[in-house]
Structure formats: C-alpha cells, structure tokens
C-alpha cells in the first residue's frame, strides 16, 4: 500500500508492526528532517502515531508540556500528538490548531484512534486489490 502513495511522500517510509496493528507511513520531509521519521512511537512503545499535515501551534504546545516536565526526543510536530494523547486521551484534538490527519495505536487499550482537523475533507479511497 505504501508503494501506491510514494508520490505523496518520496523522502521517507516507515512501517511498525505492533501486535495486532501495523502502521505505515510515507513522508515528504518538511519539519525535523532527521527526527521526524514515522511511525513515531512513545519511548515505552505503547503508543504509535502516523501523521500528515501540520500543527501550527505546536511550538506553544511544546513549551507548555515542557514546563510540566515532558521530555521530547525530536523537534517534530508529530511528537506533540503522542504527548497530548497521553495527557488528554482522545480530547487531545481540541488542543490542535492546524490541518492534519493521524492514526494513533494505543496498545494497552487495543484502540486505534483516527482523527482529522474539523475543516478537512472526508474521503476514503481503497483501491481494488484484484482488478
């Protein structure tokens, strides 16, 4: 499936198999060219996220989280999603200002959380596996 979207993200590709879930991602590297590889996992590997878009207010969110003791490994806005999900659960999206879509696997809960910004288009295209 990642091969079908190579044109959307020619710079980086990642796949993580996490028990019953697998996340894959193609990336056009814009922010944090080195540390923004996806899927991005929490340090304890219980959360994993793939993300497309941009969270405009991530510098302010990061400063706020750092003041509470959160430690970051990257300069990527993707990592903000992991930290805010850990803090607020699915309500984390109420804190994001931007254009985005993401899939987050929460292994302890066996939960796949899918979210997008409230202004983005909704579409799902699944190409036929057999012509």
Is 111 or 16 the better-scoring residue by pLDDT?
Answer: 111
pLDDT of residue 131: 46
Provide the pLDDT confidence category of residue 11 given band limits of 50, 70 and 90: low
Q: State pLDDT tens for residues 56-106.
A: 999 999 999 999 999 999 888 999 999 999 999 999 999 999 999 899 999
Domain boundaries, the chain: 2-116
What is the pTM (predicted TM-score) of this model?
Answer: 0.76
Give the DSSP letter of residue 63: H
The mean per-residue pLDDT over the stretch 29-56 comes to 80
DSSP H helices in the chain: 58-67, 78-88
Residue 130 has pLDDT above 60, yes or no: no
Give which of 44, 41, 43 is closest to 21, Cα–Cα. 41
The residue with greater pLDDT, 55 or 21, is: 55
More confident residue, 66 or 23: 66
pLDDT at 124: 47
CA distance 119 to 80: 20
Topology of domain 2-116, CATH: 3.60.20
Q: How far apart are CA 51 and CA 40, in angstroms?
A: 9
- pLDDT surpassing 80 at residue 6: no
Q: What is the mean pLDDT of the chain?
A: 80
């Amino acid at each position: 499936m990642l091969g079908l979207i190579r044109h959307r993200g020619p710079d980086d590709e990642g796949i993580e198999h996490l028990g019953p879930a697998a996340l894959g991602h193609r990336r056009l590297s814009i922010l944090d060219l080195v540390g923004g590889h996806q899927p991005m996992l929490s340090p304890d590997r219980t959360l994993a996220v793939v993300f497309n878009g941009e969270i405009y207010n991530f510098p302010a969110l990061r400063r706020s989280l750092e003041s509470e003791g959160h430690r970051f490994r990257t300069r990527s806005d993707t990592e903000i999603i992991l930290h805010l999900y850990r803090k607020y659960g699915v309500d984390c999206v109420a804190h994001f200002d931007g254009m985005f879509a993401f899939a987050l696997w929460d292994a302890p809960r066996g939960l796949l959380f899918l979210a997008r910004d409230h202004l983005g288009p909704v579409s799902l295209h699944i190409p036929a596996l057999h012509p």
